[in-house]
């Protein structure tokens, strides 16, 4: 559950949809208590970071080569749910991986879905988001 200013209510479910408590799921990644073990776990934590507006986590987990200058989100957007569609590689022993997802949102009273296949890489032992895979690539 998300409270005022995008803060997750203590003991509430993780916004990434894992059905685990935020404090046991994405919270430790946001607080830098541990690193994501897989590209899929990093994807979930990045979605949750958008929900709770933890832009520092997004900066830390975005490859510096592809990270935009402004990582903030539109103030009017509300994220409503994440579904992981597919994952290719991105495991504990992999150097690269891809995660396809659908993230539901509301913006200016309208519902929408962000559907993306994201590319991840391990950099200095840490998973980072690189970019989205272009359609037809």
CATH of the domain at 108: 3.10.450.50
Q: Is residue 137 part of a domain?
A: no
Please report, for residues 59, 88, 112, the alpha-carbon distance to residue 15 in angstroms, rounded to integers and kept in the order given: 19, 23, 17
Residues 67-79 pLDDT 10s: 999 988 788 899 9
Number of domains in the chain: 1
Residues 27-70 pLDDT 10s: 999 999 999 999 999 999 999 999 999 999 999 999 999 999 99
Any residues with CB less than 8 A from the CB of 46 and at least 6 apart, and which?
57, 58, 61, 129
For the record, the structure tokens of 50 come out as 């958008």
For the record, the structure tokens of 47 come out as 């979605």
**For residues 131 and 4, which has the higher predicted lDDT (pLDDT)?**
131
Q: Is residue 74 part of a domain?
A: yes
Q: Is residue 71 part of a domain?
A: yes
Q: Is residue 15 part of a domain?
A: yes
Among residues 25, 41, 14, 6, the alpha carbon closest in space to that of 129 is found at 41
Running DSSP on this structure, what letter comes out for residue 134?
A: P
Give the bridge partners for 65, in sequence order: none
Give the bridge partners for 114, in sequence order: 103
Model confidence, pTM: 0.91
Q: Is residue 68 part of a domain?
A: yes
Quickly tell me which residue has 């479910």 as its tokens.
13
- Domain hosting residue 42, numbered range: 4-132
| H or E segment to which residue 21 belongs | none
Counted residue by residue, the chain has a size of: 137
Residues 82-118 pLDDT 10s: 999 999 999 999 999 999 999 999 999 999 999 999 9
């Amino acid at each position: 559950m998300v409270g005022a200013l995008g803060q997750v209510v203590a003991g509430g479910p993780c916004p990434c949809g894992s059905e685990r408590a935020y404090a046991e799921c994405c919270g430790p990644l946001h607080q830098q208590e541990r690193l994501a073990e897989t590209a899929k776990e990093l994807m979930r934590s990045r979605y949750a970071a958008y929900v709770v507006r933890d832009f520092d986590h997004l900066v830390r987990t975005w490859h510096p080569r592809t990270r935009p200058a402004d990582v903030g989100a539109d103030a009017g957007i509300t994220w409503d749910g994440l579904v992981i569609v597919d994952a290719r590689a991105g495991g504990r022993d992999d150097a690269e991986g891809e995660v396809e997802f659908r993230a539901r949102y509301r913006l200016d009273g309208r519902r929408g879905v962000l559907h993306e296949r994201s590319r991840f890489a391990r950099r200095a032992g840490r998973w980072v988001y690189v970019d989205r895979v272009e359609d037809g690539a």
